Amino acid sequence: MRFTIYQESRVGKRKNNQDRIAYCYSRDALIMVLADGMGGHLHGEVAAHIAVQYLTQAFQREAQPLLEDPALFLSRSLSSAHHAILDYALDKNLPEAPRTTIVVCVVQEGYAHWAHAGDSRLYLLRHGRINTQTRDHSRVQLMLDQGLLDAEGAATHPGRNRIYSCLGGTHAPQIEFSRRTLLQDGDIIALCSDGVWGPVGDQGLLLGLTTTNLLEAVPKLMTRAEELAGASCDNLSLVTMCWHDDIGAAVPDSVSTQTMALHDFTTQMDAFQRTTRGSATAVDLSDDEIERAIAEINSAIKKFTK
């Protein structure tokens, strides 16, 4: 495989960052994951972390170096991540399980397979256009589908953050799965939280990612989203990958997995931060709080690891 990949997450104007992002690849397969947590102090952050860490670790167990069935992997892993979040809530005696959106994409043998729950999105950009994008599992999207709202009204609707499908919470998630999609040279896959797509819109995201190298484009797009959102800026996260044909010429900053060992993996995943960058009202997590949270996450995940 040959691709360029870059990810970034920022706190925006919130007290702490409840988004989690990761990517991981073997010689023959790649996974990208983004989760946007919802809940009180630490809990939404933990739900997002459980989801992303579970999927990444499951990928490392099963992609040796290919997944036997990517669609089945996504279905089984997302279900297990959901139940790991519920188990965490049970162990903590929480009145309600924390929740997180999820969007995840697997690429292998030149095909992309993705799944999502909530309003974190995947975009497939091809030849300077949006080829495909996921449909939000939100109240506003339902109203758009029914003709009760237009795009302008949706952008300012007070219920725009209400979603009806997620991991965790009180209801089983309604996970939507894609068909496998053959990638073309130059295709860009972008996974983003609503902190990105909300302020810039579809066209802003398209223009921001198709005009220059991803390693330059992503930070500029994130900064643009922060500027547009202003004082109400949410956490914002973006994972982007540009696909390159193996037989093509080498691309600067691209990754080639051809020489990787059979059972090797490269992983990039966000960790808990003790303080929130640039916020006067940051939640200051102690080292003990972080260590306890990590131990509880690992315990919840371990019960659903086979």
Summarize pLDDT for 233-262 with one digit per residue, the tens.
Answer: 999 999 999 999 877 677 889 999 999 998
Q: Is residue 44 part of a domain?
A: yes
Q: Which two tokens stand for residue 111?
A: 């095909």
Q: Would residue 149 count as lying in a domain? A: no
Q: Is 235 exposed, middle or buried (0-12, 13-18, 19+ CB in 10 A)?
A: buried
Helix boundaries (H) for the chain: 43-62, 70-91, 139-145, 151-156, 194-209, 214-229, 287-302
The set of residues, in sequence order, having a beta carbon less than 8 Å from that of 119 and lying 6+ positions away, is 36, 101, 136, 137, 138, 141, 161, 163, 194
User: In sequence order, what are the beta bridge partners of 9?
Assistant: 237
Token pair listed for 30: 């790649």
The pTM (predicted TM-score) of the whole model is 0.92
In a domain, 252, yes or no: yes
State how many domains the chain has: 1
pLDDT tens-digit series, residues 151-174: 666 666 666 678 999 999 988 999
Q: How many helices (H) and strands (E) does the chain have?
A: 7, 15
| Domain harbouring 56, CATH code | 3.60.40.10
pLDDT-derived band of residue 278, with 50, 70 and 90 as boundaries?
very low
The residue range of the domain holding 275 is 2-136+162-302
